[in-house]
Amino acid sequence: MKDAAPQATRLADYAPYPFTVTGVELTFRLSPSATRVLARIGFAPNPARQPAGPGGHDLRLDGEKLALLSARVDGRPVRPVQDEAGLTVAARDLPGGSFTWEAEVEIDPAGNTALEGLYMSGGIYCTQCEAEGFRKITFYPDRPDVMAPFRVRIESDLPVLLSNGNPNGAGPGWAEWTDPWPKPAYLFALVAGDLVAVRGSFTTTSGRPVALAIWVRKGDEDRCPYAMDSLKRSMKWDEDTYGREYDLDVFNIVAVDDFNMGAMENKGLNIFNSKLVLASPETATDADFERIESVIAHEYFHNWTGNRITCRDWFQLCLKEGLTVFRDQEFTKDMRSEPVKRIEDVLTLRARQFREDMGPLAHPVRPDSYIEINNFYTATVYEKGAEVIGMLKRLVGDDGYRKALDLYFARHDGEAATIEDWLKVFEDATGRDLTQFKRWYTDAGTPRLTVSEAWSPGKEGGTYTLTFHQKTPPTPGQDRKPPRVIPIAVGLLNPNGDEVVPTEMLEMTEVTQSFRFEGLASRPVPSILRGFSAPVVLDREVAAKERAFLLAHDTDPFNRWEAGRALARDALARMIGEAADPSPALIDGLGAVLADEGLDPAFRALCLHLPSEDDLAQALHDAGRVPDPDRIHAERLRLEAAIARRLEPALSAAFAAMATPGPFSPDAASAGRRALRLACLALLTRIDGGHRAAALFDTAGNMTESAGALANLIAVGQAEAALAAFHDRWNGNRLVIDKWFTLQPALCPPDRAAGVAERLAAHPDFDWKNPNRFRALLGGLSANHAGFHAATGAGYRFYADWLLRLDPVNPQTAARMSTAFQSWARYDADRKALIRAELDRILATPGLSRDLTEMAGRIRGAADA
Ligand code: B3K
Ligand code: ZN
């Protein structure tokens, strides 16, 4: 399709850079379309790299879209050979030994729509360098294993001039910064603009005062306190839990409106998508507050897991991302509710990572080759990377984990490390051999566990045996899947619901393996994979009666929720496949959970949510059936209506009882009450024509309930007036208007989804070059399962049209959004042909970016077969 296939980078080809960088001095003369960057960089031969031939190594520097104005080595002008990707100074033009490279380049931040390197967002200069953006700022060995201290001087008339590290002087039109901690270039950052600070302070355990600031545009100050509070709690938690202290005099966070992802952990100067900083009760939902808390923590935690210890190469990305996600998940559990957070994380894992692992984009947590590294910031690297660490912790225990982490920080501080280094600290700290465990990093795919049970009564008590069998289906490029170590947490209940064997961690290492429990008075009911102790699919045929029993009695909250979930999934599968009636066992079970006031409202809310349409499509596909999106949608609605009819009094009562009068508080308990309230509303709306939602919309005093009510009105087609009122009220507030763009295509009746999306794309507020706005609309459409997969192909066509439009402007976001097509193989021949045609159209487009070429090509795969 494409004539010149882009080159892959391979883990096996790693070689150290021939030079070390002893120091970097940068001067920026800012100007929107003609910024000058002067670089003075010290190089010394790298003893870790084999000597080259007699002439020594050439100096190879990465650089893209840079106009080179001058270049010198030790003060003498040189003429490097330039190509698309960088430049080379021949070894004969280098002195041998150490030398200083100086270069002046010109770049165009205002014309940088890809939002990588130095760019402008609403008049603010800002940077995004991970993974390979620094090479768009100046010529440099842009790889994470080259670490150096940086000094930066910024010249500009703008009032606020920020970079990494500590401030080192400022005057009219300039500011200087020094970052003493050696860092890779991907952690470089610069911000300049007309910003105001919301300030705070923190004193570390050893007494270092740290000046904290969140920089935003004038008028946004009152939406910063929650982010500031989250930051302080993160700093304290990392000291208490991991013994990690902050290491600079200042910590700055900047919020910008145009950002390709959530946020970035640049040393001492985190840059955030404004949606992950700005929050007030009127403008942000409870979900927004929770996400802000966790991303502020995540980026802060990177200071140790990512910055002080970084990655040797990008194949090791999970070393920092998996670990930092794991740490932010633990933080949220400590700040909020552990079981609720676990359920939320598993929902995300299944929706994003399992889906990836079961399709054409499957790759190991540590991939071994890539074309465009930005395409590997995936759910597998992040979320499965975190699950793998959770399993390690379960296997070595809390003390072993803490010892291993202490050793990791002591041994690798200041280094660029690998997964081998990471596993070695666990082996050294705990004496455990992790050879087999390493397969979790190198082998793609989600293992499927099947279970059989045997019971033999005996005089001294009976013996109960669980036999597990593991199998991982082949993934692209990996046919053979040897068995993995799987920690399986199991507890046993007796028929009265009492726990007779508390949670035990079974360690499965073979393809088939049995575990025996002896001395039991009666045949137990097993609770398997408690707390979701491993990221696997548990294939176990269980009678509805047993699931209902576990939903009512399991002492493990995760498995209690899981039992309800499975009950709902099975009931829906029967409704879809055999037009069965809604299951009374399910509805009664949910009714009991709803009525149980001893249970956390947030937990009850999670139990009341039925599996998503996308989940059901995957479950049907797994069971060897071809999912019909329209039928899934209709049957899911039918089940919700049946639940609402049968439980109406209890749902109405809970809807009223869970109101949170008084001033809004974003704490977990209040958020849980609102979550339960909205879960009840969603069900009730199925049978009340939307009147409760309309009343709530008119009176809601916070965004959680306002957006929740609006969502329900959209779903029943009663939202015209509410949508107009919402737009009027929030006109000009970008983050709230993003919600307006998402909710409509996401929740409208599926047959209208593509039309709604088309109408919104023509709306004057559809500023499609802004990634948040683009994601709001396109992400909204793809979240409408039956709408995106409409048999007409209108959803697919609209989506592909916009990917093609965005690609030349912002390839990274276009490539990321293309993952909406990754599950094509589940569907019927007609839908498959429609998706294939869109992928072919994308791939045949001249000038397509490397990013989207790689993604569309991998997704399409061998789809003709
Ligand atoms: N490390 C960044 C992600 C960078 C993505 C580059 N395409 C944010 C994070 O994971 O914390
Ligand atoms: Zn991260």
Task: Name the one residue in this structure whose structure tokens are 């706005």.
Answer: 773
Ligand 1 pocket residue status of 179, Cβ below 6 Å: no
Residues 6 or more apart in contact with residue 519 via CB below 8 angstroms:
460, 461, 462, 463
Ligand 1 pocket residue status of 261, Cβ below 6 Å: yes
The model's confidence at residue 49, banded by pLDDT at 50, 70 and 90, is confident
Atom of ligand 1 nearest to the CA of 306: 1
CA of 130 to the centre of ligand 1 (A): 6
Q: Which of 264, 317, 810, 816 to mutate to test the pocket of ligand 1 (most atoms within 8 A of CB)?
A: 264
Ligand showing the shortest atom-to-Cα distance for residue 812? 1
User: Two tokens at 521?
Assistant: 């008075």
pLDDT of residue 3: 45
Ligand 1 pocket residue status of 264, Cβ below 6 Å: yes
Q: Is the pLDDT of residue 50 over 90?
A: no
Give me the active site residues, please.
299
Ligand showing the shortest atom-to-Cα distance for residue 128? 1
* pLDDT tens-digit readout, 610-631: 999 999 999 999 999 999 999 9
Residue 257 lies in a domain: no
Q: Which of 321, 324, 327 to mutate to test the pocket of ligand 1 (most atoms within 8 A of CB)?
A: 321
Atom of ligand 1 nearest to the CA of 302: 11
Residue 616 lies in a domain: no
Long-range contacts of 788-793 (CB under 8 A, 24+ apart): 788/753, 788/820, 789/629, 789/827, 789/831, 790/629, 790/750, 790/751, 790/753, 790/754, 791/630, 791/830, 791/831, 792/754, 793/831, 793/834, 793/838
Domain count, the chain: 3
- Pick the range with the lowest mean pLDDT from 45-54, 181-190, 298-307: 45-54
Residue 274 lies in a domain: no
pLDDT of residue 586: 97
CA of 262 to the centre of ligand 2 (A): 9
Ligand 1 pocket residue status of 198, Cβ below 6 Å: no
Task: Name the one residue in this structure whose structure tokens are 């500009």.
Answer: 156
Q: Is 829 exposed, middle or buried (0-12, 13-18, 19+ CB in 10 A)?
A: exposed
Nearest CA to ligand 1 atom 3: 264
pTM: 0.98
Residue 372 lies in a domain: yes
SS3 breakdown of the chain: % helix, strand, coil, rounded to 5? Answer: 45, 20, 30
Ligand showing the shortest atom-to-Cα distance for residue 815? 1
Do 180 and 318 share a structural domain?
Answer: no
CA of 320 to the centre of ligand 2 (A): 7
Distance of CA 820 to the CA centre of its chain: 15
pLDDT of residue 864: 55
Task: Provide mean pLDDT across the span 820-828.
Answer: 97
* pLDDT tens-digit readout, 233-267: 999 999 999 999 999 999 999 999 999 999 999 99
Q: Which domain holds residue 171?
A: 10-194
Q: Is the pLDDT of residue 53 over 90?
A: no
User: Two tokens at 392?
Assistant: 């390690």
CA of 267 to the centre of ligand 1 (A): 13
User: Two tokens at 304?
Assistant: 């140790």
Nearest CA to ligand 1 atom 7: 374
Residue 323 lies in a domain: yes
Task: Provide mean pLDDT across the span 277-283.
Answer: 98
Stronger pLDDT, 217 or 54, i.e. the higher one: 217
Domain boundary among 415, 442, 469: 442
Do 174 and 29 share a structural domain?
Answer: yes
CA of 263 to the centre of ligand 1 (A): 7
Task: Provide mean pLDDT across the span 150-161.
Answer: 98
Do 314 and 185 share a structural domain?
Answer: no
Report the 10 Å Cβ neighbour count for 254. Answer: 27
Q: Which of 37, 225, 51 is nearest to 118 (CA)?
A: 37
Whichever domain contains 428, its CATH number is 1.10.390.10
Nearest CA to ligand 1 atom 2: 264
pLDDT of residue 55: 79
* pLDDT tens-digit readout, 645-702: 999 999 999 999 999 999 999 999 999 999 999 999 999 999 999 999 999 999 999 9
User: Two tokens at 32?
Assistant: 């929107």
Q: Assign 19 to helix, strand or coil.
A: strand
Atom of ligand 1 nearest to the CA of 260: 7
Q: Is the pLDDT of residue 1 over 70?
A: no
- Pick the range with the lowest mean pLDDT from 366-370, 457-461, 589-593, 773-777: 457-461
* pLDDT tens-digit readout, 92-133: 999 989 999 999 999 999 999 999 999 999 999 999 999 999
* pLDDT tens-digit readout, 367-423: 999 999 999 999 999 999 999 999 999 999 999 999 999 999 999 999 999 999 999
Atom of ligand 1 nearest to the CA of 299: 11
CA of 795 to the centre of ligand 1 (A): 29
Nearest CA to ligand 1 atom 5: 130
Nearest CA to ligand 1 atom 9: 264
The model's confidence at residue 760, banded by pLDDT at 50, 70 and 90, is very high
Q: Is the pLDDT of residue 326 over 60?
A: yes
Instruction: Look over the chain and give the mean of its residue pLDDT values, rounded to a whole number.
Output: 97
Partners of 82 in the beta sheet?
87
Ligand 1 pocket residue status of 372, Cβ below 6 Å: no
Provide the residue type at 558 as one letter: F
Ligand 1 pocket residue status of 26, Cβ below 6 Å: no
pLDDT of residue 838: 98
Length of the chain (residues): 865
* pLDDT tens-digit readout, 131-142: 999 999 999 999
pLDDT of residue 862: 63
Q: Is the pLDDT of residue 269 over 60?
A: yes
Ligand 1 pocket residue status of 265, Cβ below 6 Å: yes
Whichever domain contains 794, its CATH number is 1.25.50.10
pLDDT of residue 863: 59
Ligand 1 pocket residue status of 377, Cβ below 6 Å: yes
Work out whether the CA dihedral 738, 744, 750, 752 comes out positive or negative.
negative
Domain boundary among 143, 161, 194: 194
Ligand 1 pocket residue status of 145, Cβ below 6 Å: no
Whichever domain contains 100, its CATH number is 2.60.40.1730
Ligand showing the shortest atom-to-Cα distance for residue 377? 1
Percent with pLDDT over 70 in the chain? 99
Domain boundary among 173, 194, 215: 194
- What is the distance between the alpha carbons of residues 309 and 327, in angstroms, rounded to a whole number? 15
Peptide bond into 379 cis (omega under 30): no
Residue 434 lies in a domain: yes
DSSP string for 825-840: GGS-HHHHHHHHHHHH
Residue 691 lies in a domain: no
Ligand showing the shortest atom-to-Cα distance for residue 810? 1
pLDDT of residue 54: 73
**First-to-last C-alpha distance (Å) of the chain:** 17
CA of 369 to the centre of ligand 1 (A): 19
pLDDT of residue 615: 97
Do 189 and 315 share a structural domain?
Answer: no
Task: Name the one residue in this structure whose structure tokens are 């042909």.
Answer: 833
Ligand 1 pocket residue status of 310, Cβ below 6 Å: no
Ligand 1 pocket residue status of 853, Cβ below 6 Å: no
Atom of ligand 1 nearest to the CA of 262: 8
Do 190 and 41 share a structural domain?
Answer: yes
Ligand 1 pocket residue status of 375, Cβ below 6 Å: no
User: Two tokens at 290?
Assistant: 């929770």
Q: Which of 265, 269, 326 to mutate to test the pocket of ligand 1 (most atoms within 8 A of CB)?
A: 265
CA of 226 to the centre of ligand 1 (A): 22
Nearest CA to ligand 1 atom 10: 321
Do 179 and 50 share a structural domain?
Answer: yes
pLDDT of residue 2: 41
Do 157 and 26 share a structural domain?
Answer: yes
Ligand 1 pocket residue status of 374, Cβ below 6 Å: yes
The answer to whether residues 126 and 190 touch, using CB atoms and an 8 Å cutoff, is yes
Ligand 1 pocket residue status of 321, Cβ below 6 Å: yes
Q: Is the pLDDT of residue 458 over 50?
A: yes
CA of 317 to the centre of ligand 1 (A): 10
CA of 855 to the centre of ligand 1 (A): 18
CA of 264 to the centre of ligand 1 (A): 6
Residue 73 lies in a domain: yes
- What is the distance between the alpha carbons of residues 200 and 829, in angstroms, rounded to a whole number? 58
Ligand 1 pocket residue status of 130, Cβ below 6 Å: yes
